[in-house]
Amino acid sequence: MKEEVKVFAPATVANVSCGFDVLGFCLSPIGDTVIVRKKEQPGVVITKIVGQDLPLDTKKNVAGVAAEALLEDLQSNQGFEIEIHKGIKAGSGIGSSAASSAGAVFGINALLGNPYTRNELIKFAMKGEELASGTPHADNVSPALLGGFTIVRCGKGPDVISIPTPPDLYATIIHPKIELKTADARSVLKKNIPLDKAIQQWGNLAALVSGLFKADYELIGRSLVDVIIEPERAGLIPQFDAVKLAAKNAGGLGSGISGSGPSIYTLSKGKENAENVRTAIAEVFAPLQIEFDTYVSKINTQGVAIID
Ligand code: ADP
């Protein structure tokens, strides 16, 4: 059996417009690379983190917490070393913590001969999310582990369903390099929702999921509307409305806040539209004194994967 694996753990978009806290999808070009190695002594150690200043302490790093949750559940004494090469900046809103958690548990599971399915690994990766944000949410770790689009029906358990990905669907991401704390993005949210808004929201979510099943790009575009969370949060992200408009005019199906921001995602039919959206939104940001990155990604239907 193998002693070491190298895993690519992809970035993800959660809070997909009307699917706040339940719908997410997986990206391909960006992610963490996590190397997991067996060691003789029991326990988990994080030996190295490249690319960002994050804690090596197993109890303070999401990868360590997720790995220990798996080993405890399995009652395994096998020890592991974890090395994390960060490709995603923490706090960018595209699932940085989820990628490290998913990569660690996927690598350990592979080295142990896959005692758990990908779906079963979600509950361990969620422990990492609990460390990062205070709640064990599954909306980023699910698409990271399963690929494609996922619905988290219920956070406890959890009950996660994979949704088909239309073959020609692409995402464009802009990550403005400003700090937006998840806690601050949460604090602007109202606790109660008017019934008329709730009805619009669940109508849109049901239609969006139908659009994904039917590969109906028009329907996907019409349904990518968030009447509850986005109006509260849009003001926290510079140029949000201008980016949305530019993306639409450039041929995008629809845009929204990725995670709790500051990244913004746009879905498009076809790579050409997705690239045109990238150019258009970069033009919106170019005159500002804010650094930014942009990415174009086919929806990654594979999820976390062994690369070596
Ligand atoms: P994101 O949505 O990009 O994952 P979060 O704000 O949810 O950002 O999570 C980042 C938090 O998790 C930061 O406080 C960071 O210090 C902590 N953290 C701990 N370990 C890691 C890791 N391996 N990768 C990313 N963030 C980590």
| Residue nearest atom 11 of ligand 1, based on CA coordinates | 132
Whole-angstrom Cα distance, residue 181 to residue 253? 28
At residue 211, the pLDDT reads: 98
d(CA 299, CA 23): 14
Which atom of ligand 1 is closest in space to residue 92's alpha carbon? 3
How much distance in Å is there from the Cα of 30 to the middle of ligand 1?
A: 15
pLDDT at 1 over 80: no
Dihedrals phi, psi of 103, to nearest 5 degrees: -60, -45
Per-residue pLDDT, averaged over 180-205, amounts to: 93
| Beta carbon of 274 within 6 Å of any ligand 1 atom | no
pLDDT in tens, 72-87: 999 999 999 999 999 9
Instruction: Decide if 40 is catalytic.
Output: no
Which residue's alpha carbon is nearest to atom 20 within ligand 1?
61
In angstroms, the CA 274 to CA 255 distance is 11
CA-133 nearest atom, ligand 1: 7
- State the pLDDT confidence band at 184, using cuts at 50, 70 and 90: confident
pLDDT score, position 157: 85
Structure tokens at 105: 């548990």
Sorted by where each begins, the domain ranges of the chain are 4-164+302-307, 169-298
- Active-site pick, 120, 182, 275, 294: 182
Does residue 91 line the site of ligand 1, with CB under 6 A?
yes
* C-alpha triplet 184, 189, 190: angle, nearest 5°: 145
Active site residue 182: yes
Distance (Å) from CA 90 to ligand 1 centroid: 5
Question: H or E segment at 99?
Answer: helix 96-111
Alpha carbon nearest to ligand 1 atom 17, residue: 132
Q: What is the rounded CA–CA span in Å between residue 31 and residue 12? A: 9
Tokens of 31: 């992610």
Ligand 1 pocket member 154 (CB < 6 A): no
Cα 259 to ligand 1 centroid, rounded to whole Å: 12
pLDDT level of residue 219 (50, 70, 90 thresholds)? very high
DSSP 19: B
What pLDDT, on the 0 to 100 scale, is given for residue 155?
74
CA 166 – ligand 1 centroid, Å? 30
What is the mean predicted confidence (pLDDT) over 241-257?
A: 98
Of all atoms in ligand 1, which is nearest to the CA of residue 100?
23
Q: What is the pLDDT of residue 132?
A: 92
Q: Does the beta carbon of 95 lie inside 6 Å of ligand 1?
A: yes
pLDDT > 70: what percent of the chain? 100
**Ligand 1 in contact with 84 (CB < 6 A)?**
yes
Q: Which of 204-234 are b and which e, b meaning 16 or more Cβ less than 10 Å from the residue's Cβ?
A: bbebbbebbeeeebebbbebbbbbbbbeebb
Closest C-alpha to 282, from 176, 185, 180:
176
Q: In this structure, which amino acid lies at residue 288?
A: L
CATH class of 4-164+302-307: alpha beta
Q: Is 169-298 assigned to CATH 3.30.70.890?
A: yes
Whether 31 is in the pocket of ligand 1, judged by its Cβ within 6 Å, is: no
Rounded to the nearest angstrom, the distance between the alpha carbon of 125 and the centre of ligand 1 is 13
Checking if the pLDDT of 71 tops 80, the result is yes
Question: Above 90 in pLDDT, residue 284?
Answer: yes
End-to-end CA distance of the chain: 14
Which among 110, 98, 100, 52 is positioned nearest to 307, based on CA atoms?
110
Same fold, 4-164+302-307 and 169-298: no
